[in-house]
Chain A
C-alpha cells in the first residue's frame, strides 16, 4: 500500500511535469466527457419531464378525441364522438370515477372593455378542474346548475387573464365572447405548456352546454372526453376495452381503422422521449467520437512519452522498479489525467448545458448519476487507452532502456 502510494505520487509528479502532454490530453478527454455528460443529463431531464407531465396528465387518465390517428396527423379534427356516446361510456365503465366531455373552439376573439384578445374557448362540465387536476385558485368553479342552465359563466387561464385584465382581479367581471357576455367566476392555476409546446394557460373554460348551443350551434357532437379510473393499474386493459366499446358503438367493421384516438400516459412518454431522442442520438454520436479521438490522442501522446522517457524507465528499472511498478506508474499517469479531464468535462457540461437550455428550452437534469457516469467513462478511457503505452514502458528491458 505504502509502495502503491509512492508510485502513484510519481504519476502525479509526471502529470505535472509534462505540461504540454497534460494539456492536450486534458482538453480532448474533457470535451468527450462533457458531451457524454450532457447526454446523460439530457436523457435524465427528458425522463424527469416526461414523468412530471404524466403525473400532471394523471396516471389514471385517458383522453379520447374524435378522429383517427391519420386524420389527426393531417390536422383535421373530425367530430365522431357524441354526448350520448360519452353518457354510454359512463354507464358501461363502472370503475371510471370521472367521465368529462369537452369541446374546443380555437382563435376566438374575446374582449374586455377596449382590450381584445384571441384565445381558445373550452367547453366542459363542472368537473373540468377535477378531470385535469387543475385547481381554481381565485373565485370558484362553475356548477352543475350552470351547465344545466346554459349559463354564461366561465373560468379563465392565467395567461388570458393577464392579457385581458392586466393586474385587475377578473373574478365577477365580464368578457365578451363572440358578442355574448360571459361572467368570469374563477381563475385557473398556472399550468405551463403541453408536451407539444402549446401554452395551456391561454384559455377560457365555459359550460359545454353554453358552448354547443350558443357558440357552435351544435346539439350532438363533442371534441372528445376525458376519463379517469379508480384502478389505474388496469389502465391499459381499459384502453383496449374502451377501444372495442367505441368501435362497436360507431359500427366500425374490423378492416376499418379507428375513427377516434385514445391518448394514454404511455403515449405522452413516447412522444417526449422521441423528441429528446434525436438530440441524444446527435450528441451521443459526437460524444462517442470525441471520446474515441480523446483516447487515441492519449494513447499516442503516451507512446511518444514512453519513447522520450526511455532513460527514465531505464534508471527506475536499474534501481529496483519491477515491471509492475512501471506499469502502475504509467497507467496511473493516464488515469490521473483522465480523471482530471472528467472533472473538467463535467464543469464544461454544466456551463454548456446552461446555454443549451437557454436556446432550446431543453430539459436537462444534472445528478450524481451523470457525474459518476462521466467519471467512470474517464477511467475506462484512462485504463483502456493507457494500458498499451504503459505495457510498452513496462516491457522495456533495463539494458535497452539504459542504452537509451
Chain B
C-alpha cells in the first residue's frame, strides 16, 4: 500500500457567491520512503494540495487514503490524532512559540500525544543534537538565526516519529547557503526512511527530491 493515495481529489473554496476550484481532480500516489517535490507557482494549488495531504484540510470530492485510513470520512479530532502521530510539518515561517525555548518548542507535539511518554525530553535533546543545535536548547527563537529556527522546527516535526515529513517552502525565508543546509537535512531524513514531501516554487530546491511533480491550475503533471 502507498503511504498517500489521492483519487480524483477536488477542492473548491467558496468566497461568498464566488467558488474557486483549487484542485481539479488530482490523482497521486506517494510510496513509503519517497522524496517528492511538488512544484508550482503561487495560485497553482500546491499549498491546497499540501494541506490535503497533511490532513489540515478536508477535500470537497474524491478520495484520500493516508496510511491505510480513509481520511475523507474522519472527524476533526481524528484528523488531529493523525497529524500528531504520522505527520511532521515544516513551514516557511517556522512557527515557533516566541515565549518558549528551543527545547520546549521541539516538545510541543508531545503535549497532544494520547499515551504517556516518559523519555520525550531525552528524545528532544537527541533531535536537537541531530540538527546541530544541542547547545542552543535553552535559547528563545529571537535569539536564533533563521536557519537555526528552521532546524528547531525540523526537530519538532520529528519528535513524534512520523512517517511523513511535509515541508511548505521550507527555505523561503533563508539565504541560499542555509537553504542547502536545510535541504541536506531533509535528504538525510529521507535516507533514514522518512517519506518527505516538499512544496516549493524554486527549481533548485526541488532538485533535491527524487521525484518532481508539477502542479498548474489545480492539475498535476509529472
Q: Is A404 a contact of B111 with CB atoms below 8 Å? A: no
- Inter-chain contacts of B116 with A (CB < 8 A): 2
- Asked whether any CB of chain B lies closer than 8 Å to the CB of A314, the reply is yes
Q: Is the CB of A320 within 8 A of B91?
A: no
Q: How far is the CB of B198 from chain A (nearest CB, A)?
A: 16
B89-A318 in contact (CB<8A)? yes
**Chain B residue at minimal CB-CB distance from A18:** B99
Q: Tell me, rounded to whole Å, the shortest Cβ–Cβ distance linking A182 to chain B.
A: 81
| B interface residues with partner A (beta carbon < 8 Å) | 51, 54, 56-57, 76-77, 80-81, 83-85, 89, 91, 93, 95-100, 108-109, 111-114, 116, 156, 160
Q: Are B112 and A311 in contact (CB under 8 A)?
A: no
CB pair A321 B111 closer than 8 Å: yes
CB-CB under 8 A for A14 and B83, given A319-B156, A399-B51, A402-B56: no
Does A32 interact with chain B (Cβ within 8 Å)?
no
Q: Which residue of chain A lies nearest to B89 when distances are taken between CB atoms in the complex?
A: A318
Beta-carbon contact of B99 and A321 below 8 Å? no
The answer to whether A355 has its CB under 8 Å from any CB of chain B is no
Residues of A near any B CB (own CB < 8 A): 2-3, 6-7, 10, 13-14, 16-18, 311-312, 314-325, 397-399, 402, 404
Are A320 and B84 in contact, CB atoms less than 8 angstroms apart?
yes
Collect the chain A residues with CB atoms within 8 Å of residue B97's CB.
312, 315
User: Residue on A with the closest CB to B83?
Assistant: A320
- Would you give the shortest CB distance from A393 to chain B, in whole angstroms? 14
Contact, CB under 8 Å: B99 / A14 = yes
Contacts A320-B113, A399-B57: A311 and B95 contacting too (C-beta < 8 A)?
yes
Asked if B95 and A322 sit within 8 Å, CB to CB, the answer is: no
For A16, A312, A323, A402, the residue with the greatest tally of chain B CB atoms inside 10 Å of its CB is: A402
B16 to chain A, nearest CB (A): 16
Decide: A319 and B89 in contact? CB cutoff 8 A. yes
- CB closest residue in chain B, given A316: B108
The complex places the Cα of A315 from the Cα of B104 at a distance, in Å, of 14
Closest 6 CB pairs of A and B: A320-B84, A17-B99, A320-B112, A319-B109, A315-B95, A322-B80
The residue in chain A whose Cβ has the minimal distance to the Cβ of B84 is A320
Asked if B81 contacts A323 (CB within 8 A), the reply is no
A339 vs chain B, min Cβ distance (A): 20
For residue A311, which residues in chain B have a CB less than 8 angstroms away from its CB? 93, 95
Chain B residues whose CB sits within 8 angstroms of the CB of A321 once the complex forms: 80, 111-112
A311 to B89, CA, bound (A): 14
Q: Which residues on the B side are within 8 Å of A6 (C-beta)?
A: 111
Query: Do the beta carbons of B85 and A320 come within 8 Å of each other?
Result: yes
B83 touches A318 (CB 8 A): yes
With beta carbons under 8 angstroms apart, the residue of B93, B109, B112 that contacts A322 is B112
> In the complex, A2 Cα to B112 Cα: how many Å?
10
Closest to B114 in A: A3
